Chains A and B, each alone.
Chain A
Amino acid sequence: MGKIIAIALNTFRESIRDRIFYSLLFFAVVLILFSMVLSNLTIGDPLKIIKDFGLGSISIVGTLIAIFVGIGMVYKEMEKRTIFVILSKPLARWQFLIGKYCGLSLTILVEVVVMSILLFGLCFLYVPKVPWNLLYAIVPIFFEILLILAVAFLFSTFSTAFLSGMFTLSIFIIGHFTGDLKNLAQSTEDVLFQTLSTVIYYVLPNLEYLNFKTRVVHHLGIGIFEVVFSLIYAIFYTLILLLIGIFIFQQRDIN
C-alpha cells in the first residue's frame, strides 16, 4: 500500500506543478465568475443561472482535466522514459497504474473542491444560505469525471496521447447521448442502426445517470438512493475499465 501511496503522491505533485492544471483551473474560475455577469443580463432567477452555469463549468473543466492528464498517464511515462527507473524497483505494474490513477483522482478532487467552494460562495452572495443541495449534483459530477479518467487511462495503456484523447472525448460525448440514440434507433426501422445503438447503449457508460444538474438547479426532487445507485454504477464501470487497463498493460513490452 505504501508504494501505491508513494506513486499517487508523486503523480499528484507532478499534476499540480503542471501549468496546464492552473490554466484549466483559471479557465473554470473565469467561467464561474462569468455566470455572475450572465445572470444580470438574462431574464430569470439569477441564482439558478449561476448554479446551472457553475455546475456545467465544474463538469466540463473537470472532464477536460481528466482527459488531459489521463491520456498521458502511461504514454507520457513511456515517452519520457521515466517508467524504466520506476518499474526497475520492486513494484508491480498494477501498483504503478493504481498509484497513478489515485494521484490523478486526487488532483481532480482538488479541482472540484476549489470550484465548488467558489460556486458556493457566489450562491451565498445572492442568498445568504449554504446551498448544500448542490452536492447532489457535484458528487455525481466528480464520479463521472473519475469514470472519464478511467476511460482515458484505459486508452493510454496501449495508444498514443492524441488518439487516447480523441477516443475519450468521443466516449464522453456518446455517453451523454446513448439513451437518446437508442430511442431514436427504436423509432426507425433500420435493424443495423437499432443493433448498433443497443450495443453502444449496453457497452458504453450512460453518463446521463450521473447528471443531476437540471434537477438540482430547479429543485426537482432527488432521492438519495437514486444518487447512491448512480455512484455505484460509476464505480462499477470505473473498476471494470481499470481492470481491463491493468490487464493490457501487464501483457505489453515497455520499450
Chain B
Amino acid sequence: MTDSIAVKINDLQKTFSNGWGKRSTIIKNLNLDIMENEIFGYLGANGAGKTTTFKLMLGLIYPDKGTILFDGKPASDYKNRTVLGYLPETPYFYSYLTAGEALDFYASLFDMDRSLKKRRVEKMLHLVGLDHAKNLQLRKFSRGMLQRIGIAQAMINDPKLLILDEPMSGLDPMGRKDMRDIILNCRDQGKTIIFSSHIISDVEMICDRASILSKGKLQQVIEMDDRQDTQDSTWEIICRGQVFNLDPIKEQDKIAHHVTGNRHILSTEDKGLANLIMAEIQNQGLDLISFGSRRKSIEDIYIKSVGGGKKKNG
C-alpha cells in the first residue's frame, strides 16, 4: 500500500424512487479514500449499498451529490475508465459468444491492436485456467466458469484498479483459492483492488483494510494489522476441573463461561477480570490449559458495527 490515493469518494449520496413519489436513500454522505496498491474489502449485508457504490463509481448510475475520483480524475468521464477493470456480481455475458470471442470483444473496447488483443486474450484465458474452453460458447459454461471469464474480462486491459463485486460467489473451494491468489498477485503487480463480499473470512484473509457499510452509511474502516492493538481484544482462558465457582468475582455478567465435560472456556473483554479469573483458578486448584488474548475477528467487528447501526436506526 502506498500513500497515494487511488479512489477518492467525497460526500456521495444516492436516492432511488420507490414509485408513488417516495424516495429512499441508498448511499448517505459516503466519504472514503482507497489507497494505491491495497486490497480493500467492502463489507455489508444485502441492500447495504455495496453494488450501488460500485455502479456510481462506474458511471452506470448518477449520484444526487458528491464526487468520485480515480487518480484525481472524475470517474464520471468514461475516458478515465481505461485504468479500470470491473467484475459484476453474478456476471452476465453474451451467451452465444465463445470464451475467446467474448474476451476479444471486450479487448476491442480498449483500442488495442490485433496482436496485443490476441496476446491478452490468451494470457487471460491461461490465468483463469480456461485455455481448454476457448472455443466453447458461454451458454455451456458453469457458474464457476462464468465467474472466471468475469475476472478475465475485468483484467483484459491490465487495469490499475480492479473493482470486484462478490468475486468469490459461485466458486468451489479450489476456485476461491485461485481467486484469492489472483487478487494477491494483482496487488504484487502494484494494482489496487476493491472487492465486496458477504464472506468475512475471505476479507480477513487477504485485505489490507476493510470497511463496513450498513444501510448506506459507512460504519467503520478497519486496518487489518492494527486489530491486535485495539482495546477491544478478547481474553480467553481454558482450564480443567470438575467445578469452577465464579461467585467470588463480582462482575460475572462480563464473563462468558462454557463447560464441555471438565473443560472450562472463559472469555472476557476486560483484562482486569481476566487476571481475577486466573487468581481464582489458582485458588480453586484447577488445571490451567491456556491463557491469551484472541485477535478480534472482522466478524466480531462487523456484527458489533452493523448491530449497533440497527439499534440506532431502530
Is there an interface contact between B108 and A2, defined as CB atoms closer than 8 Å?
Answer: yes
Distance between Cα atoms of A84 and B150 in the complex (Å): 12
- Which single member of A6, A13, A255 contacts B109 (CB below 8 Å)? A6
Is there an interface contact between A90 and B78, defined as CB atoms closer than 8 Å?
Answer: yes
Q: Nearest Cβ distance between residue B225 and chain A, in whole angstroms?
A: 31
Is there an interface contact between A10 and B88, defined as CB atoms closer than 8 Å?
Answer: no
Q: Which residues of A contact B106 (CB under 8 A)?
A: 85, 89
Distance between Cα atoms of A126 and B258 in the complex (Å): 97
Is there an interface contact between A90 and B109, defined as CB atoms closer than 8 Å?
Answer: yes
When C-beta atoms are compared, the residue in chain A nearest to B91 turns out to be A85
Is there an interface contact between A87 and B96, defined as CB atoms closer than 8 Å?
Answer: no
Interface 1/0s, chain A 1-32, versus B by CB < 8 A? 01100110010011001100000000000000
Interface 1/0s, chain A 71-102, versus B by CB < 8 A? 00000000011101111111111000000000
Q: Nearest Cβ distance between residue A252 and chain B, in whole angstroms?
A: 9
When C-beta atoms are compared, the residue in chain B nearest to A89 turns out to be B109
When C-beta atoms are compared, the residue in chain A nearest to B83 turns out to be A90
Asked whether A253 is an interface residue with its Cβ less than 8 Å from the other chain, the reply is: yes
Distance between Cα atoms of A80 and B92 in the complex (Å): 7
Q: Which residues of A contact B108 (CB under 8 A)?
A: 2-3, 6
Q: Which residues of A contact B91 (CB under 8 A)?
A: 85
- Which single member of B82, B93, B96 contacts A85 (CB below 8 Å)? B93
Distance between Cα atoms of A84 and B163 in the complex (Å): 13
Distance between Cα atoms of A82 and B94 in the complex (Å): 7
Tally of contact residues, A, Cβ under 8 A: 25
Is there an interface contact between A253 and B92, defined as CB atoms closer than 8 Å?
Answer: no
Distance between Cα atoms of A253 and B14 in the complex (Å): 11
Q: Nearest Cβ distance between residue A21 and chain B, in whole angstroms?
A: 12
Is there an interface contact between A88 and B96, defined as CB atoms closer than 8 Å?
Answer: no
Distance between Cα atoms of A92 and B81 in the complex (Å): 10
Distance between Cα atoms of A6 and B150 in the complex (Å): 19
Give chain B interface residues in 33-71, CB to chain A under 8 Å.
55, 58-62
Distance between Cα atoms of A6 and B106 in the complex (Å): 9
Is there an interface contact between A81 and B78, defined as CB atoms closer than 8 Å?
Answer: no
Asked whether A117 is an interface residue with its Cβ less than 8 Å from the other chain, the reply is: no
Is there an interface contact between A91 and B78, defined as CB atoms closer than 8 Å?
Answer: yes
Is there an interface contact between B58 and A88, defined as CB atoms closer than 8 Å?
Answer: yes
Q: Which residues of A contact B109 (CB under 8 A)?
A: 3, 6-7, 86, 89-91
Q: Which residues of B contact A91 (CB under 8 A)?
A: 78, 81, 109
Q: Which residues of A contact B59 (CB under 8 A)?
A: 87
Q: Nearest Cβ distance between residue B118 and chain A, in whole angstroms?
A: 15
Asked whether A254 is an interface residue with its Cβ less than 8 Å from the other chain, the reply is: yes
Is there an interface contact between B84 and A10, defined as CB atoms closer than 8 Å?
Answer: no
Is there an interface contact between B105 and A81, defined as CB atoms closer than 8 Å?
Answer: no
Interface residue ranges, B against A (CB under 8 Å): 16, 55, 58-62, 78-82, 84, 86, 88, 90-94, 96-97, 101, 105-106, 108-111, 150, 153, 157, 163
Which 7 residue pairs across A and B have the least CB separation, nearest first?
Answer: A6-B108, A88-B86, A253-B61, A89-B109, A81-B92, A254-B60, A17-B96
A-B CB contact pairs (8 Å), 29 listed: A3-B109, A6-B105, A6-B108, A13-B96, A13-B101, A14-B96, A81-B88, A81-B92, A82-B94, A84-B58, A84-B86, A84-B92, A85-B86, A85-B92, A85-B153, A87-B59, A88-B60, A88-B81, A89-B157, A90-B78, A90-B81, A90-B109, A90-B110, A92-B78, A253-B16, A253-B60, A253-B61, A253-B62, A255-B61
Additional pairs, 18, CB under 8 Å, beyond known A84-B86, A93-B78, A255-B60: A2-B108, A6-B108, A10-B94, A13-B96, A18-B96, A81-B90, A85-B91, A85-B93, A85-B106, A85-B150, A88-B58, A89-B110, A90-B79, A90-B81, A90-B109, A91-B81, A91-B109, A254-B55
